[in-house]
Structure 1
Amino acid sequence: MTHTPQDVNVLLVDDLQENLVALEALIRQPGRRIHTVRSGEQALSLMLEHPFALAILDVQMPSMNGFELAELMRGTERTRSIPIVFVSAGGRELNYAFRGYESGAVDFLYKPLDPHAVRSKVSVFVDLFRQRQELQEAKAQLQRAVSMRDDFMSMIAHELRNPLNSVYLQAQLRRRMLAAPKPPDSQTMLKMVERDERQIRSMVRLLDDMLDVSRARTGKLAIVPAPYDLVASTTAVVEAIQEQANASGVTVTLAAPDALPMKGDEFRIEQVITNLMTNALRYGQGKPVAVTVGLRETEPEAFVSVRDQGMGVKPEDQERIFEQFERTEGTAQIAGLGLGLYIARQIAQAHQGRLEIRSSPGEGAEFILSLPLDAPEEAA
């Protein structure tokens, strides 16, 4: 019988091989893996290696009888919770049963065995074991969800605190300036307003990301296809982010044809490119960023490539960073929630496109958005 990792283990212990063969034939079913041993010592060794839904022990065995084995099982953490069913040919004497239950038995089977009773009892314990496994998995998932929620709330508080503190300090500074004998000139005030606007946009972008994650998870991330120019859209994003790049001392270059007509949701595509550009500035270690727009030679696709020269991404992290709240190792001190790439890939897939990464540690990262020339006709 072929076994899978999901099979439930059942242990049979009897010193007589013919008894083991007969009992195994009686309870063998798909989804069960039957282990048979002929001594208590072998049974203990096996129970330390595998989780068992049930152990069926013969009472009368040489060197170590079933009661002694059960007492040893109850004294070990790993084997303590395994249900024990005794098999006895000694009749239904009351003292025998008492000793069995005292040593931890949950049931007795008496020879000659009733096939229907044996199958029913084993099925009950196998089903209970599966239910316990499901409950444990559900508990683990709930704990992960609670942990993720707590981490998320902590990140949100951190990400909102910085721009809010900046806006608050700017307001306090403005109050003092207005109370001074010589009021500030309009240019100074204009620069302060522009700083406020940048901080507010940062907070709005954060909230938009949170909403987009919720929409993507519920299948409500809508796109509204319409004709647009991919080159013009990419150029607009590069120009919009140029001020941030200049402030970081980063050179951004754009290589693109004069135009590239497409059909899709221009706002959403610009959102993807913005996320990729923001990532390149965050993780590019202040080195130049290259943006390229073009057409595939072998496929009816357009692409936008954003390449930085930063720390790069390890191969084992290259799929993980596209998940919610995931970031590459060594970047905890860099601002961000780890939502941008997740949202960007969802938008690419909604356009029947792809978002991929090419990277090696220490050699930068290239993110490539590929879009079909015949975009979806309806909102996705």
Structure 2
Amino acid sequence: MLRKIEAKVLIVDDLPENLLALRSLIQSDDRTLFQASSADEALSLMLEHEFALAILDVKMPGMNGFELAELMRGTEKTRHIPIIFVSAVGRDMDYAFKGYESGAVDFLHKPLSPFEVRSKVSMFVELYRHRKALSQQLEVLEAARREQEALLTELRETQAELQKAVQMRDSFMSIASHELRTPLNGLILDVQLRKLRLEQGRTDAFTPDKLHEMIARDERQIRSLSRLIDDMLDVSRIRTGKLSVIPQPGDLGVLAGNVVEGLAAQFASQGNHIDLQVDGPAPVMMDEFRIEQVLANLLTNALRYGGGKPVLVRVSSEGETVRAEVRDQGMGISEADQRRVFEQFERVCDAGVAQGLGLGLFISEQIVQAHGGRIELSSRLGEGSCFSVLLPRRV
């Protein structure tokens, strides 16, 4: 593995014969040799290549070897290159100290000993290779550490999502059982009461007027159960990508009028009413059943949270968009809750008001998006809410 790491050695001397002599001594298949005849040429090469070792002649015209070494130590890219000086001066201690202060790691004295030259160069080349191998291993370990951290973060996020899913499931089961039980209990009590009266022979309890009242009450409870079941089925269809939307040419204003007419009695029974305003034709491509479902959900929410005050429905065209607004004058929704109410199983609870499975707005948004539109919400606490359904205008 170490042999595969390229090692470059730089020889610097102003005399060609010295360069040739050094080259012949240290030439080997396991290293690449570069040579320079001046300090400037050497610096240029060092800035371009990464060297395992630099062999510098001390005495050169212009910048000598010591000065070049000091310059190398002051430059980030070259400061870690080991330097061996080649000197014809004897083994004078002051001379050696000056060399080591300049950054030398060793000296070669002339006349050169071939064995000494080869052994020292080989040692520094091997040291370089070991350092590079260690550096590469550290890089691999660091990359593995980062990858492990990323995986750990992903696992934590997945765990948090799973915990949230479990909490949502538990919350849904609790809400669903309560919401389904409410109309079902009404039906059960009514059936038991009728059965008791029949057993008592009280046929006077089944006059035409009272029968009509019983049937109307049963229908309300059945519709409530049916709506809850439909919502759960729609969520399942959305998750599996099987929500059926079949757009046909239609007028959003006409559809809004039909929905308002169908809910008028329910509003009246609670002492409330709906104001409808349609500003001209509102042609769109829509699945009438699904958009009716959206408008009915928005109006039901307005009745539920509108504080008993009138609800306004307005349909208008704005350029390439048709808008249907449902505006109430109720408690409003805080800015923090305005995105949350479109999520599954989320309900705005205030002053004990919280009904349904928390699926209506989630389903409505998915239906409108399937039509290429969007739902917008504008609300302030204490000032009511305005939900707007925006669909592309049909040309």
TM range (shorter): 0.5 to 0.7
Query: 2:262 aligned to 230, 240, 244, which one?
Result: 240
Which letter does structure 2 place at the counterpart of 1:154? S
- The CA deviation at 1:317 is 1.9
Query: 1:151 aligned to 164, 171, 179, which one?
Result: 171
Which letter does structure 2 place at the counterpart of 1:160? L
- Kindly indicate whether residue 373 of structure 2 is the aligned counterpart of residue 346 of structure 1: no
Q: In the comparison of the two structures, how many residue pairs are matched? A: 268
Aligned to 2:327: 307
Distance 2:134 2:388 in 1: 66
- The CA deviation at 1:113 is 8.1
- The answer (yes or no) to whether the contact 2:329–2:384 under 8 Å persists in 1 is yes
Aligned to 1:139: 159
Deviations 1:262-294 (A, max 9, x none): 331111111110010011011111111111122
SS in 1 for 2:356: coil
- The CA deviation at 1:200 is 0.9
Aligned to 1:293: 315
Which letter does structure 2 place at the counterpart of 1:150? D
Query: 2:249 aligned to 223, 227, 233, which one?
Result: 227
Question: Taking every aligned residue pair, what percent have the same amino acid on both sides?
Answer: 46
SS in 2 for 1:219: coil
- The answer (yes or no) to whether the contact 2:280–2:316 under 8 Å persists in 1 is no
Gaps of 5+ in 2: 1-72, 81-129
Deviations 1:206-249 (A, max 9, x none): 11111212222332222112233323321221122122212221
RMSD: 2.6
Change in Cα spacing, 1:290 to 1:334, as seen in structure 2 (3 Å) is: same
- Kindly indicate whether residue 305 of structure 2 is the aligned counterpart of residue 283 of structure 1: yes
Distance 1:111 1:223 in 2: 65
Query: 1:335 aligned to 338, 355, 369, which one?
Result: 355
- The CA deviation at 1:257 is 4.8
Distance 2:351 2:320 in 1: 36
TM-score, normalization by structure 1: 0.65
Aligned to 2:226: 204
Query: 1:194 aligned to 216, 222, 229, which one?
Result: 216
Which letter does structure 1 place at the counterpart of 2:333? V
- The answer (yes or no) to whether the contact 2:315–2:324 under 8 Å persists in 1 is yes
Distance 2:298 2:273 in 1: 15
SS in 1 for 2:332: coil
Deviations 1:311-357 (A, max 9, x none): 11112222221111223352664211211111111111111112111
Query: 2:346 aligned to 285, 309, 326, which one?
Result: 326
- Kindly indicate whether residue 368 of structure 2 is the aligned counterpart of residue 362 of structure 1: no
- The CA deviation at 1:112 is 10
Aligned to 1:174: 194
Change in Cα spacing, 1:365 to 1:199, as seen in structure 2 (3 Å) is: same
Change in Cα spacing, 1:132 to 1:332, as seen in structure 2 (3 Å) is: farther
Which letter does structure 1 place at the counterpart of 2:373? G
- The CA deviation at 1:261 is 4.0
TM-score, normalization by structure 2: 0.63
SS in 2 for 1:361: coil
Larger Rg: 2
Distance 1:345 1:111 in 2: 60
Which letter does structure 1 place at the counterpart of 2:207? D
Distance 1:130 1:228 in 2: 51
- The CA deviation at 1:258 is 6.9
Change in Cα spacing, 1:358 to 1:126, as seen in structure 2 (3 Å) is: closer
- The answer (yes or no) to whether the contact 2:347–2:354 under 8 Å persists in 1 is no
Change in Cα spacing, 1:334 to 1:124, as seen in structure 2 (3 Å) is: closer
- The CA deviation at 1:259 is 5.4
Distance 1:312 1:182 in 2: 49
- The answer (yes or no) to whether the contact 2:249–2:285 under 8 Å persists in 1 is yes
- The answer (yes or no) to whether the contact 2:299–2:326 under 8 Å persists in 1 is yes
Change in Cα spacing, 1:333 to 1:363, as seen in structure 2 (3 Å) is: closer
Distance 1:341 1:122 in 2: 47
Aligned to 1:256: 278
Distance 1:230 1:333 in 2: 31
The farther-off stretch of 247-256 and 177-186 is 177-186
Change in Cα spacing, 1:332 to 1:339, as seen in structure 2 (3 Å) is: farther
Distance 1:129 1:344 in 2: 39
Deviations 1:129-163 (A, max 9, x none): 32222222211111111111000111100110100
- Kindly indicate whether residue 139 of structure 2 is the aligned counterpart of residue 119 of structure 1: yes
Structure ranking higher in helix proportion: 2
Distance 1:164 1:237 in 2: 26
Distance 2:347 2:390 in 1: 22
Distance 2:378 2:149 in 1: 45
Distance 1:229 1:133 in 2: 50
The farther-off stretch of 176-185 and 299-308 is 176-185
Aligned to 1:164: 184
Distance 2:353 2:329 in 1: 19
Aligned to 1:50: none
SS in 2 for 1:312: coil
SS in 2 for 1:357: strand
